Amino acid sequence: MKIETLLSMLLLLPVLWSNAQAPADRPNILWIVSEDNNTSLIGCYGNDFATTPNIDRFAKESILYKNAFSTAPVCAPSRNTLITGMYPPSLGTEHMRSTNPVPSFVRFFPKYLREAGYYTTNNAKKDYNTVDQTDAWDESSNTATYQNRKPGQPFFAVFNLNVSHESAIHQPAATLHHDPEKVPLPPYHPATPEFKRDWAQYYDKVEEMDRQFGKLLTELREAGLADNTIVFYYADNGGVLGRSKRFMYESGLHVPLVIHLPEKYAHLARAQAGSQTDQLVTFVDFAPTLLSLAGIPIPDHMQGQAFLGLQQKPERQYAYGFRGRMDEAIDLSRSVRDKKYRYTRNYLPHKPYGQHLEYLWKAPSIRSWEAEYKAGRLNEIQSRFWQPKPAEELYDVDADPDNIHNLATDPRYANELARLRKANDQWLRESKDVGFIPEAILSRIANQTPLYDFARQGKYNVNRVIETATLASSRNPADAKELVNRLNDPDPVVRYWAAMGCTVLKPGGAKKPLLPLLQDPEAAVQIAAAEALYGLGQKEQPLAVLKNALTSSSRPVRLQALNALQTFGKDAAPLATIAREIIAKTPMTNPVNDFYDVRAAQTLLDAIGN
């Protein structure tokens, strides 16, 4: 056979295969998604204190994935990954509850299933962190169900179990099933009464989630559909107590994933039913995997790879994670995980892990943790959450599942550190990570063009930006001279990162070149320069710049200024009146809209005693 003929046949295979499978021949697919729980809260992952009999029983006849990861440690960005099959920092959708648009070719993956004849339902959470595509679903509501499909029609159905959501611990329950005095605590949490109770209460909520999971499986069996339905169980991110959800540790990113393929579809997986696999999978892989299972060609733009079905790819080497703005707190970290190590790069290391978040602080446990820190009653491990971050973190997750022993400065792990550092850097450049553009600039660009497109139009010098952000965050005094030189760079994003580097390093020679940036054309650069100059002992001029920023019509500008002011302590008091005006002008009549500048303004007022 001629090579040209063979290549033509290979190219036609996905089309022929798709056409050969009538919709009735395709598997039903059921997603059961719990909220805010990591692997440590599920019995089949080794926790004897957990009460999850239904999931545990399900795992015995399914494939349990030991290395499944959310791309973000919080719901909306991770759900953006799930629905698009793409990496949110490449789409400009990484920041919590942004509405930046995606390119027109990025379609929510259930659309492909609908076009192939599937009945698609979502019950009921979306939270996709971009402009919604409502035509992805035949039904999306609190009553949506596969039972409304046409006779014989295959279905893809999602059920979101929100009983385990973070909000479940905001109010103490009257009674508890799990004993607070016996609940296992991670070493980074102090054994306060509030922590014991919140942990016990959350175990109760996971137990209720397990009951709901079991009910959905019973309904499937009673409908006579179990033998034709592939079932996924997973959580939308880790969590839920402090230092898990929102944070770049195993506790925030390592999620349970158990998949059952009925006997007739068992050939679509490499692993066998009842087994456990250490294969690395990540949320960016879920969309292509669903299309692979349904016999639908995977679009080229999807950045994930199928791990089930006839289009599955070789196992990935790394799982990538990210942290952007979390509610009202600006931050930026990236993470790489292989089967043994987790590497995290913190690009704003001067900011503590425990930046105040109005929603997180609703949990009694986080408030007790902060009080213990302020009272000086914590040990070194428990205190780290309230302190600035190292530039790099490296954990042996086998030996240290709680991620408390940072190996980044241990010379015995220098090779692993260099390897994972390189993998992170390469991925940022390859994916054209736009998360390094300050949001005040990012949001303005998004109003004109999708950020994914912008990054590929020759207008984003990703290599120089990543290089500067790396210098800025390395905490290496030898980089100070180059950072000061880059304060005059023609690219405002580079100037921004050079100024942030001056905040981190506080080089004495930076004062004079920083001063002109207080009149920079970009407000984001002005604010970064003001924060750096305050750290170098200046006060009056930085306050004047931030006062002006607080009156900006741009919410991201106001939010950046409020974040900077939180480092000023009592010196921010002259701007208290403007902070109160921000709150008064933007009443939070609909908290779902997340007026984060209002929350940050209240945090500032609380900090300065107003």
Residues sharing a CB contact under 8 Å with residue 372, sequence separation 6 or more, in sequence order: 190, 192, 378, 382
CA distance 53 to 484: 59
Q: How far is CA 184 from CA 151, 204, 319, 344, 556, in A?
A: 49, 14, 28, 26, 40
Tell how far CA 591 is from the center of its chain.
21
Burial group, residue 399, by CB count within 10 angstroms (0-12, 13-18, 19+): exposed
Q: Is 361 helix (H, G, I), strand (E, B) or coil?
A: helix
Angle at the Cα of 412 (from 406 to 417), degrees rounded to 5?
Answer: 60
By C-alpha distance, which of 455, 518, 444, 443 is closest to 487? Answer: 518
CA angle (512 as vertex; 506, 516 as ends), nearest 5: 110
* Core vs surface per residue 448-479: b (16+ CB within 10 A) or e: eebbbbbbeeeebebeebbbbbbbbbbbeeeb
User: Are the beta carbons of 262 and 227 closer than 8 angstroms?
Assistant: yes
**Tally of CB atoms within 10 A around 497:** 31
Q: Checking phi first, is residue 427 left (phi over 0); if not, alpha (psi -120 to 50) or beta?
A: alpha
- Residues 492 and 468: their CA atoms lie apart, in Å, by 12
Catalytic residues: 75
